[in-house]
Every structure is written in C-alpha cells, then in structure tokens.
C-alpha cells in the first residue's frame, strides 16, 4: 500500500466522482480507477458502489475512510513539522534581556541550543526589565528574559512563563561578624548598614516590601547603581546587601563572600520569559522558547545552578 492510493481513495470518496478526483489530483481517470482497484485487491473487498451516476462508499469503505484521513493528516503534519525544523535551523532570534539572566543564564542556554540548531543566530540587547517589557510590547524583540520579585507579571499583552527562580539571601564579607552565621532575622537587619540598589530595581523593590511587611525601619548606608560595585563594597565589609543566589554564586564559590538565609518567609527572584501574545514567533524563536522549557534540556543547561524549579511555590 502507498499514500498515493490512499489519497486517491480519500479524494474519490470526498468528491463522489472518479473524474473530479482525477482532475483534483492531476491524474487521468484510468490511473485513479487503477489505484482504487489495487486498494480493493489489498483489502479483498469493494470500497465503492455505483448508484446510477453517483459513487457511494460501501460499508467497508466507510470503515476505511476514517483511518485513511488520520494517515493523511499525520503525513501532512510530519511535513509541516520537518519544514518548521528546517526553517528553525538557520533562522535568527531577537532577544531582549535584563542583566542578570543575560549574564548568568542566557550564555549557557544558547550554547546548548546551538548543539541542536547550529545555524541559528541571535541579536541580543541588554536593558532594564521594564524596558524589555516595553520593547516586547512594541514588537522590537521576539522574546524577552526579565527578572521580577513577583511570580506573576500580570501584563495583559504578554505571554509569560517562569524559567528560573532563586532565593534572595544576605551577602556579607568573609571577615564580617555575621560570616560565622547561617541565617539572620529581619529584625536584626534593621540595625545593619545596608548597601542597596536604586529604587526602581527588582532588588530594591523586594527589600522595601520585606521591611514594609514587618513594619520595621531599615538603615541605608549606600545607594549604588552598579551591582559590581555593591559586591566589592560588601567584600570590603562596608555593609551588607541583598542578592539572589544566582548573581553571587561565583563569588561564594570563590570564597569572596558569605551568604545568610533570611529567616521567616523566603524571598525569591523570578526569571520570566515573555513575548507579545499577538506576535507570532518565527520557527527559530519558537524552537528556542520550547527548548528553554523542555524538562530534559533544563537539567542540562541549568545543572550548574542551584534550582531548576520554575513554579511559584516554595
């Protein structure tokens, strides 16, 4: 049996005519008739009856037609899937990313993606999370990676999904009096000189919300825009600061900094992948999006980080 016979059978059944089926398939009527006879020989039964000038399926034909439709649909779907894959192999992706996922997650993800899609190319721009969101709304990027202290962004124009979440901790210098401890309470933090980011950053928003939740004042010793400078200030014991485990993993592993858990309700930072709900992703962008959320792939490209958990629970 071959697909040509099945397609001829399905077309004759659909149109109710050998001649019209032949025209649709760009075949001669004798060729279509021969294919139907071959199919009837294979099944050892008649598939069509002639009622006057009309062609009607026999009971055997009616039974077969559903299976044939499924086979032809799967065949068409396979062509579509393979063509999509071929298109994805050599396409380009425009990405907007905030600094943290751009520096700590994206390079590893891309390196693994390129194993399967070596011809894919990337145009990447680093912006603040809010700017990435606005750029996505204006269709300047295919996909965006942003960070937030909230698990749900609730942006009506966007499709959003959490790729990665990591815990917020306190970073202190290795010679700091707190370096011997594993955790600290929010009450204790209120008396500590804090080195903080600017007010419009995710880290600062999480800090403000934490102290507001406990109705506790806090002491800002330094307000600094540069995360690199904040880390260096902490390493030199000029204060303590809030970090996600992802952004200071290398400093902790290199023994440049010590971390303390915050007792009570844990705080998390979420990395979201976003795109505009009305923007159809290109085959390459869709392949990259699916790749990032493939559980088997995540085990590979997130294995060096502390958590591959991507939901909003603890």
Is the domain of 83 the same as that of 57?
yes
Which among 105, 110, 137, 138 is positioned nearest to 123, based on CA atoms?
110
Is the domain of 189 the same as that of 45?
no
Where helices occur in 90-201 by DSSP H, the ranges are: 99-104, 106-116, 129-137, 186-189
Of the residues 89, 111, 129, which one is the last residue of a structural domain? 89
- Residues 95, 241: Cα–Cα separation, whole Å: 30
φ/ψ (deg, to 5) at 296: -65, -40
Which among 85, 45, 88 is positioned nearest to 64, based on CA atoms?
45
Is the domain of 141 the same as that of 65?
no
Is the domain of 157 the same as that of 196?
yes
User: Containing domain of residue 207, as a range?
Assistant: 95-314
| Residue 312: half-sphere exposure toward Cβ, Cα within 13 Å | 10
Is the domain of 187 the same as that of 147?
yes
φ/ψ (deg, to 5) at 255: 65, 35
Is the domain of 52 the same as that of 134?
no
Structure tokens at 160: 């959003």
CATH of the domain at 156: 3.40.190.290
The pTM of this model reads 0.67
Is the domain of 120 the same as that of 234?
yes
Please state the domain count of the chain. 2
DSSP string, 156-167: TTEEEEEEEEEE
pLDDT of residue 25: 87
No. of helices (H) and no. of strands (E), the chain: 13, 12
Cα 34 to chain centroid distance, Å, stands at 50
Of the residues 89, 122, 157, which one is the last residue of a structural domain? 89
Is the domain of 314 the same as that of 230?
yes
Is the domain of 182 the same as that of 282?
yes
Per-residue pLDDT of the chain (314 residues; tens, 9 = 90+): 588 888 888 898 888 888 888 888 888 889 989 988 999 888 899 999 887 778 889 999 889 999 988 988 888 887 766 765 555 566 789 999 999 899 889 999 999 999 988 888 999 999 989 899 999 999 899 999 999 888 888 888 999 999 998 888 999 999 899 999 999 998 888 888 999 888 777 778 778 888 888 888 888 899 998 889 999 999 999 999 999 888 888 888 888 899 999 888 788 889 999 999 998 888 889 999 999 999 888 877 776 554 444 556 54
- Residues 39, 26: Cα–Cα separation, whole Å: 19
Owner of token pair 């050599």: 90
Of the residues 89, 124, 148, which one is the last residue of a structural domain? 89
Is the domain of 43 the same as that of 182?
no
Is the domain of 269 the same as that of 248?
yes
pLDDT of residue 50: 82
CATH of the domain at 54: 1.10.10.10
φ/ψ (deg, to 5) at 240: -120, 165
């Amino acid at each position: 049996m071959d697909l040509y016979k099945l397609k001829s059978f399905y077309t004759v059944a659909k149109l109710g005519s050998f001649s019209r089926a032949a025209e649709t398939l760009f075949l001669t009527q004798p060729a279509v008739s021969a294919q139907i006879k071959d199919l009837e020989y294979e099944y050892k039964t008649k598939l069509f009856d002639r009622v006057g000038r009309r062609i009607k399926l026999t009971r055997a034909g009616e039974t077969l037609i559903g299976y044939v439709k499924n086979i032809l649909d799967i065949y068409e779907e396979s062509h579509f899937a393979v063509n999509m894959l071929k298109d994805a192999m050599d396409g380009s992706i425009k990405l907007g990313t905030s600094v943290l996922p751009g520096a700590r997650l994206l390079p590893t993800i891309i390196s693994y993606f390129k194993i399967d899609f070596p011809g894919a190319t990337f145009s990447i721009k680093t912006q603040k999370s809010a700017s990435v969101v606005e750029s996505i709304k204006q269709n300047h990027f295919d996909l965006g990676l942003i960070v937030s202290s909230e698990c749900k962004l609730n942006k009506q124009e966007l499709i959003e999904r959490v790729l990665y979440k990591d815990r917020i901790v306190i970073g202190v210098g290795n010679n700091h009096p707190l370096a011997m401890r594993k955790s600290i309470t929010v009450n204790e933090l209120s008396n500590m000189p804090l080195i903080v980011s600017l007010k419009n950053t995710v880290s600062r928003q999480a800090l403000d919300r934490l102290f507001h939740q406990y109705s506790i004042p806090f002491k800002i010793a330094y307000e600094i825009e540069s995360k690199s400078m904040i880390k260096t200030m902490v390493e030199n014991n000029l204060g303590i600061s809030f970090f996600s485990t992802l952004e200071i993993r290398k400093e902790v592993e290199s023994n440049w900094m010590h971390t303390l858990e915050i007792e009570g309700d844990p705080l998390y930072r979420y990395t979201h992948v976003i795109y505009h709900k009305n923007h159809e992703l290109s085959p390459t962008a869709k392949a990259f999006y699916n790749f990032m959320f493939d559980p088997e792939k995540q085990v590979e490209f997130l294995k060096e980080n502390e958590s591959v958990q991507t939901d909003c629970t603890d």
